[in-house]
Chains A and B, each alone.
Chain A
């Protein structure tokens, strides 16, 4: 079995389970929206948002809802120890990582499709000023965040304090993703936009993704062996 075929089987299974239960979709969308709404009470006054706040709030909502999705996605594999069954499949174990990552990316991008228009609406952010660049920043940032998060969530699946440990491990490593995402998005949303700066931040995100996804694929098998 090829790595990509196994990864696709696992991702498709996750999407079927999610489409049936909608547990992750509802909780992450609700959490992300609640987050944005609470910030809007603080940062929007008399219909005007504080300059630069919208990009930060967008990425905080992405990071928090992403963490929630990561821990819940692996909780499903823990309940009947199905992660072990996946590791017993006769293909490279990195396929398990890749499959879970694809499933999580689909979910997080779905959440962002709801989140971005809400941020645009509540904070009067110009989300259509450079839509492809914004989509690129979000896609690359989400890949970097979920790429590192999937590895840590899989490693912690049998740890007792996994819900506490996951953010403790994940946030320090993904600080570059959050900085690049916030600064790149802020460059697009600014009163005087700087699309060259946004492109530079996108390049940093792509570099981060390449390094950490390759590293995760490489170390997944050894770190998952008991």
Chain B
């Protein structure tokens, strides 16, 4: 991981965070700690609060109660610079269809104030294996190609905290394997990776921590004990029965 700006951090703490949308409770007094060099998997049924938790961590969603601390400091203290250390791959891909793959990456690289933009973009295109499609409009890409490009867009500024919402969507086997290798590389580089997914097969063996979420409440299970899917099913049945 490249050395970051002054607001770099090695832990992220979610402290008693609740988030309500009207009368609906998306998160209820959730507390979690993430450390550098780890990949955490976030699992749960649709509407469990996974995207809300990612939104809160990304600073896009404000908690109703509680706070998130990045290296002991809140987002309010760290200011706008904090967002330069966070990379987000949303369920929607945050890409402009009318721009080419290269133009999308260049735009976001400049938005993050990066130096050596052409080199960074070339590197990102290589990671996404889109060198030969670099000048094609993104609107003409398949979902899988857009997903690969979106991942590199989210990582172009070498963030410390990487938040991924369904990163395996639309990827073929080979691309899924490459994504897994990329996420392992991020872990080795010292990133904090939090990934919300329903793809147990791809996550099995990749994640260090398994966090289950249902109705805004969190339950953590041991990542190394047997099939991830089986453990998840058991936890869902036992913990929320």
Contact = CB atoms under 8 A, between A and B. Distances in A.
A225 interface: yes
Question: Contact size class for A?
Answer: 20 to 34
A16 B99 contact: yes
B97 A88 contact: no
A21 B92 CA distance: 22
Contacts of A21: 98
Contacts of A76: 96, 98
Nearest to A21: B98
B58 interface: yes
A9 B110 contact: yes
Contacts of A226: 55, 60-62
A35 B39 CA distance: 58
A92 interface: yes
Contact of A1 (B90, B94, B99, B113): B113
A9 B107 contact: yes
Contacts of A20: 98
A91 B84 CA distance: 9
A81 B94 contact: yes
Nearest to B110: A9
A89 interface: yes
Interface residues of B, number: 30
A9 B103 CA distance: 12
Nearest to A1: B113
Contact of B111 (A6, A79, A92, A225): A6
B189 interface: no
A16 B93 CA distance: 20
A82 B111 CA distance: 13
Interface stretch (B75-83, B169-177, B203-211): B75-83
Contacts of B58: 88
B122 interface: no
Interface in A59-105: 76, 79-82, 84-93
Given A90-B83, A226-B55, A85 B99 contact: no
A13 B94 CA distance: 14
Interface string A1-42: 100001001100100110011000000000000000000000
Given A16-B103, A76-B98, A90-B84, 8 more contacts: A1-B111, A13-B99, A13-B107, A80-B97, A84-B92, A89-B111, A92-B80, A93-B80
In the A-B complex, the 3 residue pairs with the smallest Cβ-Cβ separation, listed nearest first, are A90-B84, A81-B92, A85-B94
Interface of A: 1, 6, 9-10, 13, 16-17, 20-21, 76, 79-82, 84-93, 225-226
